[in-house]
Amino acid sequence: MAHWALVTAISVLCSCLEVPKPPPKDALDVKDVATSDGVELDTICVPSGVEMCFDAFDNNCNGVIDEGCGLHTGVLQFTIAWQQATADVDLNVNGPDGDLARFDKPNESGLLKDRDCPGADRQCYGQNVENVFLSEGRPRRGRYRVVVRLEELHDSTAPIKVRLSARIGQRHFSSLITLEERNDQREFEFTL
C-alpha cells in the first residue's frame, strides 16, 4: 500500500511541474556573413532607450528596426539612414535568385522596398531612410546581397555617414559606414 501511495504522489507531483520547452531553433540561422574590406558589422545590441525614428537602429533592442516610425518590418529587414538632407544614398538588396528588391511589387524572394530618399520631390523631408523588408512568404535560403551606394552628393559635403541595420530572424546586425565620393559603395552578404 505504501508503495502505491508513493507512486501516486510522484505521478501527481510530476504532473504539476512545468518543464520549460527548449527555445525554438531560429529558423533563419545565418550561416555566413561577408562585408567589404575594412567594414565592421556589430552583432551586439546595447539598449540606448526608447526607439528613435529614422536612425536605422534598434534603440530598444527588441529585434525590430525603427518600429512605430512608418517603416515596414518583417523577419528580414534591411534599413539605412543618413543625416545629410540632399545626399542621395541607395540601398539595393538582391535575394538568393539575384533579383533586386523594387517598389512596385515584391521580387521573387518576397522582398519589397518601401522608401527611396531623398526622393524626386524631397518627400522624405530630410529624414533620409531607405528600407527593404520581406513582405510575403517565408525567407528563401541562400545569399542576400546588400549594397549601400552614394549616388549623388548634390549640395551635401562628403563624407556621408550611413547607418546600416539588418534584421534576420531574431538576429540584429549593424554597421556605421562612411562614403567618400559619388559611386562609393559598401557590400554585405548574408547567407541563410
pLDDT in tens, 129-172: 999 999 988 999 999 999 999 999 999 999 999 999 999 998 89
Least Cα distance to 130 among 165, 157, 180 occurs for 165
- pTM for the complete prediction? 0.84
Where are the domains positioned within the chain?
A: 30-191
d(CA 90, CA 157): 17
Least Cα distance to 115 among 96, 94, 138, 89 occurs for 89
Confidence of residue 23 (pLDDT cuts 50, 70, 90): very low
Residue with cell 538588396: 93
Could you count the other beta carbons within 10 Å of the beta carbon of residue 72? 15
Residue with cell 510522484: 10
112-148 b/e (C-beta count within 10 Å ≥ 16 → b): bbbbbbbeeeeebeebbbbbbbbbeeebbeebbbbbb
- Helix and strand counts by DSSP (H, E) for the chain: 1, 9
